[in-house]
């Protein structure tokens, strides 16, 4: 099996590649290394690992990759993952989140590659606080450029699946955390508390509540469900089997795990951290649970384990 992982030098992609190499697969990783190559440093030189540094919106280069390699399946993990940064400049999400999808699909079409895994997000749903979100929920209205370009990517994938007889598995996942995290609330709190252990600025009112999934659980279910690709597009909500974790609870867990005492929490106020943030949502994950996969970590446990990982890794 020849595997292409686009965006494989990122946080989740690098964990995925680690698992594939452990399984004995050969992996070709393509990435422009927005955050450097530290996540793949340990596998450079591995006999089954090949890396090409490319801009994924460069169609000629993407086509060349498909021509030179007999790819069986593409894992599309590339995107702008810094939602706040994208919020200041929509071109970032348009380029890195949407156009990467377009060029990969075009490359696959021309090279007759049939199988795709796509990393989508709960952000495609937008803000529907009173609705239990299932994969069949309609009327989606994303509230960030990131969510909008992910939903546009999903729509494009659907059309290629139909027009080119492809198979696609689309995962809409919430916040993913674990070792090698490079952004997000847990990462921010650890860094802020390292700089100032006596007070912590918390964006919003702290009551924003989301599900956090531990990266190992996510990789388990990606590996499980991309082994059984059928000729269609299948969408799964991915999440945890427990309530979400509030931002204040994340702050408390981080403080506890760092062994700090009497930290003053300073809230910036408002019901959300930034424009485009979705402060809470109710996710239905019964479809994926029916496949037999079940996450091992609750949302709170995932947060705690991530802080422990960061301490162990000296982050
Ligand atoms: N981390 C999360 O909480 C989360 C939640 C939901 C969905 N996702 C999705 O999962 C995927 C992986 O997320 P992550 O947290 O590992 O992100 P990440 O930022 O760590 O990794 C993304 C990688 O894509 C690469 N990339 C981006 N644009 C590129 C381009 N134009 N050309 C070449 N390479 C490019 C970056 O260099 C980076 O290495 C993304 O698609 C993201 O939207 C992540």
* Short-list 145, 53, 32, CA closest to 92: 145
Alpha-carbon distances of 197 from 170, 255, 262, rounded to whole Å? 40, 9, 9
Does any ligand 1 atom lie closer than 6 A to the CB of residue 3? Answer: no
- Residue 229: the pLDDT is 72
Go through the domains of the chain in sequence order and give each one's CATH number: 2-176+214-237 (3.40.50.720), 178-211+242-280+297-312 (3.90.25.10)
Alpha-carbon distance of 188 to 186, in angstroms, equals 5
- Please provide residue 311's backbone torsions phi and psi, each rounded to the nearest 5 degrees: -65, -45
Degrees to nearest 5, angle at CA 191 with 241 and 96:
70
The two three-digit tokens of residue 70, written as one number: 């007999």
- What is this structure's pTM? 0.96
Ligand 1 mean position, distance from CA 292 (Å): 27
Does any ligand 1 atom lie closer than 6 A to the CB of residue 263? Answer: no
Per-residue pLDDT of the chain (315 residues; tens, 9 = 90+): 899 999 999 999 999 999 999 999 999 999 999 999 999 999 999 999 999 999 999 999 999 999 999 999 999 999 998 878 899 999 999 999 999 999 999 999 999 999 999 999 999 999 987 889 999 999 999 999 999 999 999 999 999 999 999 999 999 999 999 999 988 899 999 999 999 999 999 999 999 999 999 999 999 999 999 987 777 889 999 999 889 999 999 999 999 999 998 899 999 999 988 888 888 888 899 999 999 999 999 999 999 999 999 999 887
pLDDT in tens, 125-149: 999 878 899 999 999 999 999 999 9
Ligand 1 mean position, distance from CA 189 (Å): 21
pLDDT in tens, 159-191: 999 999 999 999 999 999 999 998 889 999 999
CA 33 to ligand 1: nearest atom? 37
The two three-digit tokens of residue 304, written as one number: 């705690």
Q: In the 3-class helix/strand/coil scheme, how is 184-208 assigned residue by residue?
A: CHHHHHHHHHHHCCCEEEECCCCCC
Alpha-carbon distance of 312 to 303, in angstroms, equals 14
Residues facing residue 4 across a β-bridge: 28, 74
Contact 73, 67 (CB under 8 A): no
Ranges assigned E (strand) in 42-86: 49-53, 73-76
The two three-digit tokens of residue 233, written as one number: 């597009």
Does any ligand 1 atom lie closer than 6 A to the CB of residue 81? Answer: yes
């Amino acid at each position: 099996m020849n595997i292409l992982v686009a965006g494989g030098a990122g946080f989740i992609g690098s964990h995925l590649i680690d698992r594939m190499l452990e399984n004995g697969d050969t992996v070709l990783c393509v990435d422009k290394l927005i955050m450097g190559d530290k996540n793949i440093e340990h596998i450079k030189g591995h006999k089954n690992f090949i890396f090409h540094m490319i801009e994924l919106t460069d169609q000629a280069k993407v086509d060349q990759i498909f021509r030179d390699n007999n790819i069986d399946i593409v894992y599309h993990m590339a995107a702008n993952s810094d939602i706040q940064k994208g919020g200041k400049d929509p071109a970032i999400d348009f380029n890195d989140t949407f156009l990467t999808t377009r060029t990969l699909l075009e490359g696959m079409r021309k090279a007759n590659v049939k199988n795709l895994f796509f990393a989508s997000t709960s952000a495609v749903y937008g803000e529907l606080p009173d609705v239990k979100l299932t994969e069949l929920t309609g009327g989606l209205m994303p509230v960030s450029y990131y969510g909008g370009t992910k939903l546009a990517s999903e729509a494009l994938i659907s059309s290629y699946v139909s027009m080119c007889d492809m198979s696609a598995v689309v995962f809409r996942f919430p916040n993913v955390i674990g070792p090698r995290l490079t952004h997000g609330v847990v990462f921010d709190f650890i860094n802020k508390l390292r700089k100032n252990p006596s007070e912590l600025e918390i964006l919003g009112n702290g009551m924003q509540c989301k599900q956090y999934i531990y990266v190992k659980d996510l990789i388990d279910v990606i590996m499980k469900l991309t082994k059984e690709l059928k000729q269609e597009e299948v969408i799964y909500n991915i999440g945890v089997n427990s309530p979400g974790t509030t931002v204040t609870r994340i702050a408390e867990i981080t403080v506890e795990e760092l062994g700090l005492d009497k930290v003053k929490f300073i809230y910036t106020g408002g019901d959300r951290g930034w424009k485009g943030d979705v402060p809470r949502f109710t996710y239905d994950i019964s479809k994926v649970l029916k496949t037999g996969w079940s996450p091992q970590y609750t949302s709170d446990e995932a947060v705690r384990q991530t802080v422990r990982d960061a301490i162990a890794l000296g982050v």
